[in-house]
Structure 1
């Protein structure tokens, strides 16, 4: 009888072991799900989708063209596909790619990938990101496209020298004397947010000329891919000097406020990244950015609105005032005769930091090519900027942008027709 009970006892013991292990397995699954969810949030903060997803392409499968001074490069497949993506990357491989710009096979990535910023991401966040990309992203089998660069410009070994000179290794370190909110904002802005990649001027070797607030050039604005990333310091005219912390938080959440509306590359940042961030993180970024002292700018006196004469000239533009005539025909119905627009739905032009900027690249580009829709919580903005490249010639665009930059006390330099022609040619492939 005792022997007959042995199989039953063994089965009972096995069942008890399984029942005891079940809560542990459930806890492990829950912990893994939480880690993946945290990684998904951090990937949004890093705006990975914007660069690694081509229009009408698969999520994170790459293929988006990016213009550099050396030619076009195409973003890579970062799905967990084992053959064409990063499915065979260890966590160490993954961290090295993000922090040092070195792929698993040892080849160097071009610094269009903002690894000088991602170098500041801490180990816990890197671990969560790895969990997300390995377990939260759908694998896509799509081969990477080679850069459109001719030899010897396509050689990658010089990038090792580039890293040796310009890559500042080491995760973000909390700044003494600054509170938790400021440090969180600095960590996000300098690291995952990689704001400096677009908003800091580049040097002759395509390096950012400042990686944090210790540089007077950091976030003072810079040209990238035919857009001018605006000044994010406290500069009164072209920067954030007239914005409150709440204004900046609203802009990061919705893409528009009383001062300006997102366009160009920033539209993608709002759509895919900052609107999904927590209110606490948005407040932290706004707090950090508003702490930056004024730097850069146009050197002009602090802006103050002056509507004199502009309304009159628009009501009946003089025959020889070509810019006013174009504005009255194509721009006034949205941006107003007084240049104040109908914020936040329609951007003001009077005192707009992008209008006051010395470099008119963004104004020319957005007039030529319009901008993609801002989509906030699934709802597209009702009045996107249309493209005027098919409608207006280079002279007309130069005239109207010059008019805008002079009107309402903007007092900014005229735009040359050659600059419009150059930018039209540079962006025609994207239209």
Structure 2
């Protein structure tokens, strides 16, 4: 969802949270006495639900102190310090200041935030939850004096005043309201998915001005899958091949709690979501999110029938790997983890047969994870024993294209082939600066 954006649209790239820098002369926060610990604890839970730590904590950095770099087509931006430090963080923010930044994308000093901060989603957060989040960030987070770093974006693209007009066009103000005719679990799930969970920020396609094409289920494009910084955020609708149509409610709840199930394993940015957010959610909230997502009608399919497993043609190819370049690579590098039958050893080693990420029309995630591997899933403090390694230094562009084409065709997957040029493009963009 980048590369073709120019001007204002380009300035809006990246779909992950970032709060603004507080002015250097920020005052002591309002109500800085003893906080209601129950409120602080609730705010801590909500901050996990919003996955705030994933973006506002740099690798090996102090919690919420910022500094994490994010790439955009115009240059690099750096997430900011949202600890209660009065000079470099948000210690001078009142609850009203905090609510305005969270839900309207306007900082204490009046400047507009980039929609890298998903305030179009956070606009739906209700007042009680805003109050709890404010209590947590003011009284449950240790202040860190760490100055914010200016972005690398050059003038005039670094100007923020055009964002006022973007907000006029695309920001829908107002907290979520329960939908009549839907039960309590569905409405809770809708509130979490659309609001603090901000699932649409990554999983919904973007328009020409980089706005989300839909903010809830009333728009057919909502969470139907989108390209995000070299990864394809999966289709979360009921589409039966690349979406959740073949997943049971239990499958989805298991994935949100552990990052893996019989269909797929988390990788890329979703690893961070599982590690920092969804595994910590209550069973009730996980069930609500699953109920809502499983209610979404199918969108984005190519008209193909629902996937059915058929190993015969692939088995013949693997029996004689010299006849197929992709099969040769698979036999040498992939088969021991993902199996001759393509079914892997779920949930520890992901299946490739029928995997929604394999069946997706956009192969970016497959290319990216093959080149660069993925970070560890860490569930209850225990890292996954078999993370996907990167093969950028081992396999050339053609070999990766060959093996992914083999996988996408194998076991009746029936997905389009991958070209070496696609691999080369992602290699260049993801390996830069490594």
TM-score, normalised relative to structure 2: 0.91
Cα offset for 1:310?
1.2
Query: What's the secondary structure of 1:177's corresponding residue?
Result: coil
Partner of 2:158: 154
Cα offset for 1:203?
1.2
Q: What runs of 5+ residues in structure 2 fail to find an aligned partner? A: 1-32
Partner of 1:306: 310
Partner of 1:365: 368
**2:262 equivalent to 1:258:** yes
CA deviation digits over 1:176-229, x for unaligned, max 9? 000111000000000000000110001121111000000000000001111100
Which stretches of structure 1, 4 residues or longer, exceed 6 Å deviation after superposition? none
Query: How far apart in 2 are the matches of 1:68 and 1:201?
Result: 17
**2:244 equivalent to 1:240:** yes
Cα offset for 1:144?
1.2
Query: What's the secondary structure of 1:165's corresponding residue?
Result: helix
Cα offset for 1:58?
1.2
CA deviation digits over 1:269-319, x for unaligned, max 9? 000000000000000000000000001133322211110121232233024
**2:126 equivalent to 1:112:** no
Q: What runs of 5+ residues in structure 1 fail to find an aligned partner? A: 1-27
CA deviation digits over 1:303-351, x for unaligned, max 9? 11110121232233024x1111101100000000111000000000011
RCO (CA 8 Å, sep 6+): is it higher in 1 or 2? 2
**2:325 equivalent to 1:325:** no
After the TM superposition, which residues 338-417 of structure 1 pair with which residues of structure 2 at under 5 Å, given as runs? 338-417=341-420
Partner of 1:38: 42
Matched residue count: 402
Query: How far apart in 2 are the matches of 1:300 and 1:65?
Result: 40
Query: How far apart in 2 are the matches of 1:251 and 1:49?
Result: 20
RMSD: 1.2
Query: How far apart in 2 are the matches of 1:112 and 1:146?
Result: 15
Query: How far apart in 1 are the matches of 2:236 and 2:308?
Result: 20
Query: How far apart in 2 are the matches of 1:359 and 1:371?
Result: 18
Partner of 1:50: 54
**2:152 equivalent to 1:185:** no
Cα offset for 1:362?
0.4
Change (3 A) 1:67 1:297: farther
Is the contact made by 1:298 and 1:356 (CA closer than 8 Å) also made in structure 2?
no
Is the contact made by 1:324 and 1:400 (CA closer than 8 Å) also made in structure 2?
yes
Larger radius of gyration: 1
Match of 1:164 among 126, 150, 168: 168
Query: What's the secondary structure of 2:321's corresponding residue?
Result: coil
After the TM superposition, which residues 68-147 of structure 1 pair with which residues of structure 2 at under 5 Å, given as runs? 68-147=72-151
Query: How far apart in 1 are the matches of 2:303 and 2:151?
Result: 39
Is the contact made by 1:66 and 1:225 (CA closer than 8 Å) also made in structure 2?
no
